Amino acid sequence: MNIALLGFGTVGRGVDAIIRDSVKDVQVTRILELPDRLTDPRMTASFDEIVADPAIDLVVECMGGLEPAHTFICAALDAGKAVVTSNKAVVAAHFAEFVEKANAAGVPFLIEASVGGGIPWIASIAKVRRIDEVTSFSGIMNGTTNYIIYAMREEGAEFDAVLAKAQELGYAERDPSADIDGIDVANKTIITASVAFDVACTRSLPVSGIRNLTKADLEVFAAHGRTVKLLGRGVCEDGRYAVSVEPVAVPLPSLEANVPTNFNLVTLDATTVGELKFYGQGAGMLPPGNASVQDIPDAPAGTRPVYDFSGSHEYAPELISGDYVFRCAVAPADSEPWDEGMWLVSGVTAEAARAFLDEALSTDPTAFMAALPQED
Amino acid sequence: MNIALLGFGTVGRGVDAIIRDSVKDVQVTRILELPDRLTDPRMTASFDEIVADPAIDLVVECMGGLEPAHTFICAALDAGKAVVTSNKAVVAAHFAEFVEKANAAGVPFLIEASVGGGIPWIASIAKVRRIDEVTSFSGIMNGTTNYIIYAMREEGAEFDAVLAKAQELGYAERDPSADIDGIDVANKTIITASVAFDVACTRSLPVSGIRNLTKADLEVFAAHGRTVKLLGRGVCEDGRYAVSVEPVAVPLPSLEANVPTNFNLVTLDATTVGELKFYGQGAGMLPPGNASVQDIPDAPAGTRPVYDFSGSHEYAPELISGDYVFRCAVAPADSEPWDEGMWLVSGVTAEAARAFLDEALSTDPTAFMAALPQED
């Protein structure tokens, strides 16, 4: 099998090295690079040349970002080439379009590496769905924020100090907002919901992050037998579904509460198999390219994941609702005191809770909110 | 695809029902039953009739036990039929022979349901191994013993009381020895090691169970920040490997310590993907047949798991060694006091520890032993 890499940054070089060292019967024969960086005989600056090359069976998109990744993925699928990508932003934004093109061409569109790093998460959902309905999922899908919360607890440190250290260690980007504001998790939640529920997932989900989480917040939650984790969640019931991204105050004896450092833990519930959980390192902590390469041996197998987004699931925010704790200067409407400077709002949707948080942030820019699920 | 079921007990009836209700393009057309129970037009008492029927593509073995399951699986593979089984005893005893026959016939031999119930454990190991080496695995592989230990802790109850309740609830067999003495976990450990390490795993592994675990033991370990879990383990290094089954005193903040009721949690470590963990209900707690049915859609896919046991891995007991705690009437040789009536033996292999336990049991039939891994 002949492969073309689109992009030759850290990920592209990693994919090239792993294929050379560890994958049989596969060669990287073309690499798309900028015109002033053509240092390898396999390199070209012309995507058209790659897409027109009948010897190329599979394209690995290693560029990141929305464009030109979106245009190149579409063109590769239209040309009948399998596509592998770990780019969750472009998949979340254009999943239905990519699937339509892949199905029309009868080629695999492989996205395992976009969620959960080395965890076989997308493959496991697809396997379960063959004989079962997925009714919900939830998970720690971002290693950076898990590392920050873990280190704040372990070291009794404040958010900013831990973030600075995470940036130094390479666990966090220089601009950390995609991680700490929940945007990265939102993309992974959209992709997971699409695969699990067979729906072209809406992008208007309620999203909040952990930017305002303090050491004192963690101490208060610990006194209540909880800690905070940033979770992406989805629920599907009777042709209706909802998704959310928000901090959740999980019970200390749960598996979620005990996930260390930068690991991910993702859970699905299905009607007959029950609860399944998957744990592993996020993509950022694997050797670069590893998460993408895991998909490559699936491309020539004759079977390909078939996603079907033709269903007409209704978005029903009330499917994710419960109690929420707010730490903010002014008590939210209809709240009751929960702890020093913190209030409990009971029985609201994730969407309504996000609106409460916006209101709170308008008077107190340090406000923080976490869902407070009932203990089993 | 036409399927024959061998056996029509609880599991066979479950497989039949799930296929009818949830699996497309698959029909159960023949069922092997005892001559006096042929109550369905699909039933026959003649295995020869089934194996000679060219319309049968796949055989699901639902009989359990070693014989005639072993003979029938061999004959079905020789006849070019795919085989699905959840029978870990027969797979552990005859894995290499089954694989040789499946490879010779070019048909799938599918055993996902034999380890970890609904967890995609065998599939995930196979997926990881395509681009990575598995260096170790360990796990809670038996739901019954996890339930017993969990209930002892939650209820502050003694082993016998909890076992009796588990038997009443159907979580434990009337003869519980396969579960509580570690035999079931030993079979699952043999199967996992064979798949993970590409080796026809030896059956002479050190095995000990939790029959002698007391409420007082759990309290002592809790005071040391630990709890006990029955783990199957394997390590592979430089063409050498070892396996063991034994109670392990895991740290309370670990994921393992927080696995509730009858759930399983299995872990693998691989050179580049790092640590992966998988959590779900053991086969015994799923709707009967569910764990076997998950394999069936893989049979016609053209790809089949290829196991290769031709390697010459050496069995090297020293790969699993460390510290062990013994609770027994007479202090073991070279031990030091650890707690009231308990002794620590440092730096011995699992095999040596099992020999120490045999020695202890000869003078104190209530003796208990657990490995004491160092905290990370």
So what's the ipTM on this one?
0.91
- Alpha helix ranges (H) inside B170-225: 177-180, 183-197, 215-223
- Segment B63-85 shows an average pLDDT of 96
Residue where a domain stops, chosen among B69, B90, B110: B110
Of B288 and A114, more confident: A114
Q: Are residues B140 and B164 in the same domain?
A: yes
B352 pLDDT band, cuts 50/70/90, is: very high
**B371 pairs with which residues across the strands?**
B248, B324
What region does A304 belong to: left with phi over 0, alpha with psi -120 to 50, or beta? beta
Identity of residue A276: L
Would A29 be classed as within a structural domain?
yes
A303 pLDDT band, cuts 50/70/90, is: low
B133 Cβ under 8 Å from any chain A Cβ: no
Strands (E), chain B: 2-6, 27-32, 43-44, 58-61, 82-85, 109-110, 134-140, 226-237, 240-251, 263-270, 274-281, 314-315, 321-327, 336-339, 342-349, 368-371
A254 Cβ under 8 Å from any chain B Cβ: yes
Residue where a domain stops, chosen among A80, A110, A140: A110
Centroid of chain to Cα A199:
17
Identity of residue A153: R
Give the pLDDT score at A293: 87
Give the pLDDT score at B301: 61
Are A98 and A61 contacting, i.e. CB atoms less than 8 angstroms apart? Answer: no
**CB neighbours (10 Å) of residue B145?**
31
Q: Which residues in chain B are closer than 8 Å to A275, comparing Cβ atoms?
A: 263, 279-281
- Total domains in chain A come to 2
B284 pLDDT band, cuts 50/70/90, is: confident
Q: Are residues B251 and B296 in the same domain?
A: yes
Concatenate the DSSP letters of all residues of B334-373 into one string.
T-EEEETTEEEEEEEEHHHHHHHHHHHHHH-TT-EEEE-P
Identify which of A131, A274, A277 has the shortest CB distance to residue B22.
Answer: A131
CA distances from A50 to A33, A44, A276, B63 (A): 11, 8, 41, 55
Nearest alpha-carbon partner for B139 in B258, B242, B252, B279: B279
A80 Cβ under 8 Å from any chain B Cβ: no
Query: How many angstroms separate the CA atoms of A188 and A49, rounded?
Result: 32
CATH code for the domain of A225: 3.30.360.10
Query: How many angstroms separate the CA atoms of A17 and A321, rounded?
Result: 46
Give the pLDDT score at A375: 74
- Kindly tell me if the per-residue pLDDT of A203 is higher than 70: no
Give the pLDDT score at A376: 61
Query: How many angstroms separate the CA atoms of A241 and A202, rounded?
Result: 10
Are A86 and A114 contacting, i.e. CB atoms less than 8 angstroms apart? Answer: yes
Identity of residue B199: V
Query: How many angstroms separate the CA atoms of B98 and B93, rounded?
Result: 10
- Catalytic, B188? Answer yes
- Segment A29-34 shows an average pLDDT of 96
| DSSP three-state, residue B208 | coil
CATH code for the domain of B44: 3.40.50.720
> Which residues lie below 8 Å from residue B28, measured CB to CB, with a gap of 6+?
B3, B4, B5, B15, B16, B19, B20, B42
Provide the 8-state DSSP code for B287. S
Between A and B, how many CB-CB pairs are < 8 A?
129
Catalytic residue among A81, A88, A188, A229: A188
Provide the 8-state DSSP code for A143. H
> Which residues lie below 8 Å from residue A154, measured CB to CB, with a gap of 6+?
none
Boundaries of domain holding B84:
2-110
- Alpha helix ranges (H) inside A106-252: 121-129, 143-155, 159-169, 177-180, 183-197, 215-223
- Give the residue from chain B lying closest to A278, CA to CA: B278
Query: How many angstroms separate the CA atoms of B170 and B260, rounded?
Result: 17
Asked if the Cβ–Cβ distance from B273 to A286 is below 8 Å, we say yes
Identify which of A128, A132, A280 has the shortest CB distance to residue B273.
Answer: A280
Query: How many angstroms separate the CA atoms of B127 and A296, rounded?
Result: 11
Nearest alpha-carbon partner for B243 in B326, B376, B106, B349: B349
C-alpha distance from A370 to closest chain B C-alpha (Å): 22
**CB neighbours (10 Å) of residue A292?**
29
B36 Cβ under 8 Å from any chain A Cβ: no
Query: How many angstroms separate the CA atoms of A224 and A375, rounded?
Result: 12
Q: Are residues B85 and B190 in the same domain?
A: no
Would A8 be classed as within a structural domain?
yes
Q: Are residues A13 and A94 in the same domain?
A: yes
Give the pLDDT score at B376: 61
Q: Which two tokens stand for residue A218?
A: 């963690």
Ranges A127-131, B21-25, B346-350, most confident: B346-350
Asked if the Cβ–Cβ distance from A120 to B124 is below 8 Å, we say yes
Q: Are residues A298 and A342 in the same domain?
A: yes
| DSSP three-state, residue B17 | helix
Are A346 and A320 contacting, i.e. CB atoms less than 8 angstroms apart? Answer: no
Would A116 be classed as within a structural domain?
no
Query: How many angstroms separate the CA atoms of B143 and B141, rounded?
Result: 7
Of A131 and A348, more confident: A348
Q: Are residues B104 and B128 in the same domain?
A: no
Would B191 be classed as within a structural domain?
yes
Would B73 be classed as within a structural domain?
yes
Q: Are residues B169 and B189 in the same domain?
A: yes
What region does B234 belong to: left with phi over 0, alpha with psi -120 to 50, or beta? beta
Query: How many angstroms separate the CA atoms of B145 and B248, rounded?
Result: 13
| DSSP three-state, residue B227 | strand
How much is the mean pLDDT over chain B? Answer: 93
Q: Are residues A234 and A211 in the same domain?
A: yes
Residue where a domain stops, chosen among B110, B129, B144: B110
Query: How many angstroms separate the CA atoms of B42 and B181, rounded?
Result: 39
C-alpha distance from A207 to closest chain B C-alpha (Å): 27
φ, ψ dihedrals at B318, nearest 5°: -65, -15
Identify which of B131, B278, B303 has the shortest CB distance to residue A23.
Answer: B131
Query: How many angstroms separate the CA atoms of B315 and B306, rounded?
Result: 23
By the 10 Å C-beta count (0-12 exposed, 13-18 middle, 19+ buried), B1 is classed as middle
Q: Are residues A91 and A173 in the same domain?
A: no
Asked if the Cβ–Cβ distance from B276 to A280 is below 8 Å, we say yes
- Mutation pick from A278, A296, A298, A304 vs chain B, by most beta carbons of B within 10 Å, is A278
Q: Which two tokens stand for residue B341?
A: 């009536």
Would A376 be classed as within a structural domain?
no
How much is the mean pLDDT over chain A? Answer: 93
- Segment B216-220 shows an average pLDDT of 98
Identify which of A255, A296, A303 has the shortest CB distance to residue B302.
Answer: A303
Give the pLDDT score at A85: 95
Asked if the Cβ–Cβ distance from A118 to B276 is below 8 Å, we say yes
Each residue's pLDDT tens digit, A49-91: 999 999 999 999 999 999 999 999 999 999 999 999 999 999 9
Would B115 be classed as within a structural domain?
no
Each residue's pLDDT tens digit, A314-350: 999 999 999 999 999 999 999 999 999 999 999 999 9
A133 Cβ under 8 Å from any chain B Cβ: no
Buried b (16+ CB within 10 A) or exposed e, A192-218: bbbbbbbbbbeeebbbbbbbbbeeebb
A255 Cβ under 8 Å from any chain B Cβ: yes
Nearest alpha-carbon partner for B96 in B307, B312, B314: B307
pTM: 0.93
Would B147 be classed as within a structural domain?
yes
CA distances from B246 to B74, B141, B208, B214, B249 (A): 32, 12, 5, 16, 10
Query: In which residue are the tokens 């209700």 written?
Result: B21
Q: Are residues B136 and B65 in the same domain?
A: no
Ranges A12-21, A278-287, B240-249, B301-310, most confident: B240-249
Query: How many angstroms separate the CA atoms of B3 and B16, rounded?
Result: 10
Query: In which residue are the tokens 């990920």 written?
Result: A11
Q: Are residues A137 and A221 in the same domain?
A: yes
B303 Cβ under 8 Å from any chain A Cβ: yes
A123 Cβ under 8 Å from any chain B Cβ: yes
Buried b (16+ CB within 10 A) or exposed e, A43-63: bbeebeebbeeeebbbbbbbb
| DSSP three-state, residue B231 | strand
CA distances from A76 to A16, A61, A72, A81, A301 (A): 19, 10, 6, 5, 19
Nearest alpha-carbon partner for B37 in B61, B14, B9: B9
Give the pLDDT score at B282: 81
Each residue's pLDDT tens digit, B84-136: 999 999 999 999 999 999 999 999 999 998 999 889 999 999 889 888 899 99
CA distances from A196 to A79, A104, A191, B12 (A): 28, 21, 9, 29
A1 Cβ under 8 Å from any chain B Cβ: no
Q: Are residues B154 and B190 in the same domain?
A: yes
Give the pLDDT score at B303: 63
| DSSP three-state, residue A238 | coil
Q: What share of chain B is helix, strand, coil (3-state, %, to 5)?
A: 40, 25, 35
